[in-house]
Copies of this chain bind each other. A is one copy, B any other.
């Protein structure tokens, strides 16, 4: 007698039957990741044929399965050009609580900065960036650091081994 999805006992939480898991897994492997409300309800309805189940169980199942698939299949070498915008590619890094977005509204009318002959008072700002004006071919690496983010990105455009350039961008972080 399997202890499967249970009859009358303590049902603190949903305990899927093997059939239910099988179907969910197949759906997942067929590409379904984030089912819509309707899909969830249908899946739930039909899985109820195998045992007690609620829509939310289906929802959670997909959430968890998707998330865990990711974290479990981690670490595979190679050039992980994870240009993924949200950086969610690899569960490791995610913005703490600070956002990295400046607010450069550069173009109102003709105020596009590069068309403007004048130089704004960027004095203070520039001081924040100890830029090197002369960089050799061997130094084509740029380290961008979001100060408040506390992390440093070493962007090696050449893919070779070079010392960082130390270009620091002062992202405007928002609390």
Which of A137-175 touch B at CB < 8 Å? 140, 142, 144, 146, 149, 151, 153, 155-158, 165, 167, 169-173
List chain B residues, Cβ under 8 A from A30. Answer: 87, 100, 144, 146, 151, 153
Contacts of A54 in B (CB 8 A): 114
Interface size on A, residues (CB 8 A): 92
Asked if residues B39 and A170 are in contact (CB atoms below 8 Å), the reply is yes
Residues of A within 8 A of B (CB): 18-20, 22-23, 25-43, 45-46, 49-50, 54-56, 59, 63, 66, 69-70, 73, 78-95, 99-106, 112-114, 120, 122, 125-126, 129, 131, 133, 135, 140, 142, 144, 146, 149, 151, 153, 155-158, 165, 167, 169-173
User: A32-B171, A70-B86 provided; 4 other pairs, C-beta below 8 A?
Assistant: A30-B87, A34-B80, A34-B102, A88-B90
